[in-house]
Amino acid sequence: MRIVVHADGETLARRAAEHIAGLIKQSAGPRVALGLAGGSTPKATYEELRWLPVNWDIVDLWLSDERWVAPDHDDSNGAMAAATLADHVEARFFRTRWSRHVRPRDAAAFYEADLRRIIPDGRSDIILLGMGSDGHTASLFPGTEALDEKERWFVANEVPHLDTWRLTATATMIQRAGAVVVLTAGDTKAEMVATAFEGEDGTIPIQLLRQAEGHVVWLVDEAAASMLSETPVERAL
C-alpha cells in the first residue's frame, strides 16, 4: 500500500479527482467499473471529478455501500453520488433497490446480480473507499457478520450499535479490484490511519486491504497522516 499526503482537504479532493480520472483513462477494457464511496471527502472529490475530461460513456458507476434508507433520503450514498457526479456525466449508474416491502438481504442479492452482470469476473477496475473513525470501510463495521463473508460480493450487514442495516461490498469484492483508492481526511482519522498501516493485522476492518490483489493507494491530508511513525509517505507536490 502507498500513502500520499496532501496539504489539506481541498487539495486532496482536487488531486484525488485527477488520480481517478487518470485511472479511468488507463483502463484497458471496453468498459470501466468504478465503485463509489460515501462520505464528505468522496463528495468533495466527485464535485471536482465531474469537470475533468473523462470518457464517461464507457464508465459503469456502482456503490461500494449504501445505507438502508429511501433513495432520496439525505443519508443515501446513492443520492449524494447522483447529485455530485452521476447526474452530471454520461456514465451508467447502478443503484441499490429500496422499498418498505423489500428486505435488506433481498436488496443486496438483487444488487449482487447487477454487479455480476456488469463485472462478470468480480474485478472492478477501480473501487473508492473511505474509512470511519472506528476503522470501518464500505459498511464493514468491527464485529459485524459481513466481515466473515467469503463467497458473496455484496451483502446486507446488520450494524447493531447503530441500530440499522447497511448494504455493502464484501472483502472478497474489494480485494479483487484492479485499483483501490482510499480517501481520508481530518485528525479524527489519524489514529486509525496509523493502525491501518502499523497496527497488528486484523485490528480493524480496513486492514483487509493488506490482502488486496491490485494496487492500493491512500490519499490523505496532513491531519489524517499525523500519527504515522514508521510508514514512509509520499508528499504531493
Tell me, what's the pLDDT at 29?
82
Mean predicted lDDT score pLDDT of the chain: 97
DSSP symbols for 132-174: -TTS-BTTB-TT-GGGG--S-SEEEEEEGGGTEEEEEE-HHHH
What is the dihedral sign for C-alpha 155, 160, 161, 165?
A: positive
pLDDT at 237: 73
- Nearest-angstrom CA–CA distance, 184 and 165: 23
* Domains (range + CATH), the chain: 2-235 (3.40.50.1360)
Cα-based torsion angle of the residue sequence 206, 211, 212, 213 in order, rounded to the nearest 10 degrees: 180
Percent of the chain with pLDDT over 70: 100
Residue type, position 111, single letter = Y
- Mean pLDDT over 198-203 rounds to 96
Q: Using CA atoms, how far apart are residues 141 and 71, in angstroms rounded to an integer? A: 22
Q: Which residues contact 202 (CB under 8 A, 6 or more apart)?
A: none
Q: Which residues contact 121 (CB under 8 A, 6 or more apart)?
A: none
- Residue in the structure block whose three cell numbers are 456503490: 63
The pLDDT tens digits of the residues spanning 130-172 come to 999 999 999 999 999 999 999 999 999 999 999 999 999 999 9
Confidence class for position 126, pLDDT limits 50, 70, 90: very high
Which helix (H) or strand (E) segment holds residue 23: the answer is helix 9-26
Bridge partners (DSSP) of residue 219 are 4, 183
Q: Is the pLDDT of residue 2 over 90?
A: yes
For the beta carbon of residue 190, count every other beta carbon within 10 angstroms: 20
Helix (H, G, I), strand (E, B) or coil at 41: helix
**114-135 mean pLDDT:** 97
> Which pLDDT value is given to residue 172?
97
pLDDT digits (tens, 9 = 90+) for 26-64: 997 899 999 999 999 999 999 999 999 999 999 999 999
